[in-house]
Amino acid sequence: MNILKKNKAYFAIVFLVLLLGAFLVSAQGKELEIQYPELGGIQPKTTSISPQEYVKYIFNFALWIIGITAFGSLIFGGVRFLTSVGNPSKRTDAKNQIAVAFLGIAILLGSYFILYSINPQLTIFESKEIEKVEITPPDHFELPEVTTSINVELPIETMLREDTNGLLGTNRRTRIEDLTVEITESANYSKDLSYELERATKGCTCSSPCGTGCLTPICKGECIMIAGVCVSLDCSPGRCTSDPCCKVRERLTEIKIENIRNISKIQEQNKKTKEEIVSIETMTEKIQKTLEIMKNDCPLSGVISRDQFISSKDYYIEQGWKLKKIQYWDEFETLIPSSQADFYCPVGGNQSSYIPESELSEEDIGEYNEIFLDYLNRGGEFETTIDCPRPIPFGEVIDKGLKIANDLTEEMKELDKLQNEIIEAIDKLHKAVSECTSKNCKPVCGCTCCSECGCEGCDCVGEPCPIISAKKVDDISKKISQKQKEIDKIINEDIPDFLDGPFKEMAEKIHFCIADPDEIEPGWALLNCERAIGAIGPDKKIFEKTSECKISDNCSILKDCYEYNFFCCRAKD
């Protein structure tokens, strides 16, 4: 053990020496303060020595130090062995030291040969110079031969009106209408069952004269005849046993089973109600997200309507260019036919929007630019202004649609709450019926009521059931019926009036602003609120801020909904 401790000390000294050497060479650009011996043709003098050479030097240095240490330990052990005659303990220690020294030498040589056998390169440290790669910039930048435009689809109208998934679509309205009718029917049925349960409990009674009814009055004590008179010896009431509802128990059970079945149906309907609420809220959030993209991601290039996109697509096909669209929402693979309030946002490509070709040469354009800049520098003003006399309340109308959807969501949430309330009320009614027991009846005992002389139960008195009333279920059922009428009004009146009224009018204004020039007077353009700043508004005043884009109503759901409004504008001399 002493020999092993000493060997550990030797190795620790070697490690510290190597660490000190690594520390000394860490300062770049200086001469080394220690004079290192030359080993294997390498002698570190300055910090300019390469890392590969330094590692190789440390490797050789370690081999020398470890080898010398092992050889010294071997000699020292031999001397101890020769001088240990007559001392068995020292002789054993000397043998161990010699054995450990041989073992160290064997490990040292073995490690080198193992590395060499695996790969001779592991024992050779060479530094390779890094080849420099020269980057030659191109002489000129070439524009792509094919013009491309990438547009994100913003299907606002489709997200509102599409039959399958649309926020105010036909399928959703039909689903909700049918669901509310089923909920009302289930609630009314539970009301009828609850009243029938209430009436059935009237057949529960404590009355059982001398045990002839459902109950058996039990008394304690006794009565005896004394001088021809029946005298009570502590004849007192005990309890009434059996079921006070024995005559109607079977009917009560049937009603409760049927009511439980109906509750299961109400629970399934409640699950569908929650799903519809989540679906409406999710679609509302998606529409709001789409509007945010219109407002925040398309401020410079501006959104283009579906009509504009179709016109641009035809022009791109004629020119051999590529016009691509990106579908933003997976559930809307195609737009509804003839939609006028669906838009596209140019987000990529080497041309973000359609720019008509000019007949002017580059020299003419440069000359006109110089004249125009000189005119501005001399304090000139524009002779041509943008006139926007036709307001299109897109943002305000969409806000109305979202408000209707929000009203529908709130009514559905109230309906969801009422469904849970009627389930709870029915459950309480069933618990009250289950409390119709003989514990609520008390026996009347006497000595002569049922026989000449004996402590017997004359009758049972009391109310076997707590108060059983279906009024709570009835009240909730009426509220559900009223809620169904309110939801029906939204579905069959408010939504159709909105889609066929304000929304249709707004969408037609968008279409007729940028429709084919053959349909209306050409030269009009569709500008959003931000791009209309600086133009002349419908009131003949210049737009100075987005709040002046407000056309009529206040915003309910969308913050600053008027900022989503459009204006039909044209250049005016």
The answer to whether residue 226 is domain-embedded is yes
pTM for the predicted model, two decimal places: 0.65
On whether both 104 and 220 belong to a single domain, the answer is: no
On whether both 350 and 270 belong to a single domain, the answer is: yes
On whether both 162 and 82 belong to a single domain, the answer is: no
Helix spans in 293-361 (H): 306-319
The answer to whether residue 25 is domain-embedded is yes
On whether both 86 and 165 belong to a single domain, the answer is: no
Alpha carbon distance 15, 221 (integer Å): 104
The answer to whether residue 135 is domain-embedded is no
The answer to whether residue 133 is domain-embedded is no
pLDDT for res 297: 78
The answer to whether residue 302 is domain-embedded is yes
The answer to whether residue 172 is domain-embedded is yes
On whether both 157 and 118 belong to a single domain, the answer is: no
Query: From start to end of 281-366, where are the E strands?
Result: 304-305, 322-326, 343-348
On whether both 60 and 174 belong to a single domain, the answer is: no
Please identify, among 123, 139, 174, the residue that sits at the C-terminal boundary of a domain.
123
Nearest by Cα to 204 from 241, 258, 249 = 249
On whether both 102 and 189 belong to a single domain, the answer is: no
On whether both 110 and 212 belong to a single domain, the answer is: no
> In sequence order, which residues have a C-beta less than 8 Å from that of residue 108 and are 6 or more positions away?
63, 66, 67, 70
Nearest by Cα to 532 from 570, 558, 503, 559 = 570
Alpha carbon distance 346, 153 (integer Å): 9
pLDDT for res 312: 78
On whether both 116 and 239 belong to a single domain, the answer is: no
Per-residue pLDDT tens over the stretch 283-322: 999 999 999 888 887 755 577 888 878 877 877 888 788 8
On whether both 218 and 178 belong to a single domain, the answer is: yes
On whether both 26 and 61 belong to a single domain, the answer is: yes
On whether both 70 and 157 belong to a single domain, the answer is: no
Please identify, among 123, 139, 157, the residue that sits at the C-terminal boundary of a domain.
123
What is the span of the domain harbouring residue 456?
A: 148-572
Tell me if 218 sits within 8 A of 443, measured CB to CB: yes
Please identify, among 62, 89, 123, the residue that sits at the C-terminal boundary of a domain.
123
Instruction: Calculate the average pLDDT of the chain.
Output: 80
Alpha carbon distance 72, 63 (integer Å): 14
Per-residue pLDDT tens over the stretch 92-149: 877 787 787 777 777 777 776 776 676 665 556 555 555 555 555 444 445 455 667 7
| Lowest mean pLDDT segment, chosen from 403-407, 422-426, 536-540 | 536-540
The answer to whether residue 141 is domain-embedded is no
Domains held by the chain: number: 2
